[in-house]
Chain A
């Protein structure tokens, strides 16, 4: 199996996982529930899982997991994990584009530091 196909699959899992998180976060934002005590958590979760968007996200999450398991059975671990660290970039982009979060220079710099760190650790461990 070619390296490019594996890379494509890794990008796909990262994308699917990002989509899952975006669906979950938009559902939570649409509830606009301010949790103040532990007892309110149950009400919050009950309202949350009644939203179809959460379940769409869950399907993407399952798909992402299946592809990821397939990738792990084919690719080198260091390659798979370092390629997967671009997940953080997708999350930052997605939050900016679809959730209107203010991803400033500071947050970008921090995210890129984390990505570099993950690549260093994965390459030294395997």
Chain B
């Protein structure tokens, strides 16, 4: 059975995990910033801070996102090699600059475009490195 072929469906789910990982980071960061900004000066403040973190919805959203990422990522890994799945996930390095241009109106430099071109070339090379009838012997 040709087990480690990349299909469009798998590629789609790889991009989804990338997005979810970004969402996780965002939620955790949000949950750690309490609405009333204060400094932790006394030992008691730590408990107060943790209470606010636990009560904020962002923490639970983040944990949910971690779990969904784990489920999708494990499913992907049951289909393809680790040395293929991880490089393809470097897509997020392209997504972040692109989002910054289109939604935040940031300027792209020549270096950015060169970097994006390198990553894209790398991703294409890695994903086509499985096509040549690699058979998994179990």
Contact flags A104-124 to B (C-beta < 8 A → 1, else 0): 101101111111111111011
Q: Determine how close the nearest CB of chain A comes to the CB of B69; give it in whole angstroms.
A: 11
Known contacts A28-B74, A88-B90; is-contact A118 B115 (Cβ 8 Å): yes
Residues of B within 8 A of A24 (CB): 73-74, 77
A64 at the interface (CB under 8 A from B): no
Which of B86, B109, B138 is packed against the most chain A CB atoms within 10 Å? B86
- B119 interfacial contact with A, CB 8 Å: yes
State how many angstroms separate the Cβ of A28 from the closest Cβ of chain B: 5
Q: Are B82 and A110 in contact (CB under 8 A)?
A: no
Report the interface size for chain B: residues with CB under 8 A from the other chain: 38
A45 to B78, CA, bound (A): 11
Given contacts A25-B82, A91-B83, A101-B82, contact A121 B125 (CB under 8 A): no
B75, B81, B116, B129: the one contacting A121 at CB < 8 Å is B116
Contacts of B36 in A (CB 8 A): none
Are B129 and A104 in touch, CB under 8 angstroms?
yes
With a CB–CB cut-off of 8 A, which chain B residues contact A114? 87, 90, 118-119, 122-123, 126
- Cβ B82 vs Cβ A95 within 8 A: yes
Of all chain B residues, the one with the shortest Cβ separation from A105 is: B129
* Chain A 66-92 interface mask (CB, 8 Å, partner B; 1/0): 000000000000000000000110011
B71: chain A residues at CB < 8 Å are 41, 45
Cross-chain contact A88 with B111 (CB below 8 angstroms): no
A118 & B74 in contact (Cβ 8 Å cutoff): no
Count how many pairs of residues, one from A and one from B, have CB atoms less than 8 Å apart in the complex: 128
The winner among A21, A87, A96, A107 for most chain B CB atoms within 10 A is: A107
Q: Which of B63-114 contact A (CB under 8 A)?
A: 70-71, 73-75, 77-79, 81-84, 86-87, 90, 93, 97, 109, 111-112, 114
The contact of A110 among B74, B97, B117, B125, by CB within 8 Å, is: B125
Which residue of B has the minimal Cβ distance to A119? B115
Determine the residue in chain A with the shortest Cβ distance to B124: A110
Decide: A110 near B123, CB < 8 A? Known: A25-B77, A44-B78, A117-B115. yes
Q: Which A residues touch B97, using CB under 8 A? A: 121, 125
C-alpha gap A110/B111 in the complex (Å): 19
Q: Is A9 an interface residue (CB 8 A)?
A: no
Q: Report which B residues bind A (CB closer than 8 A).
A: 70-71, 73-75, 77-79, 81-84, 86-87, 90, 93, 97, 109, 111-112, 114-129, 134, 138
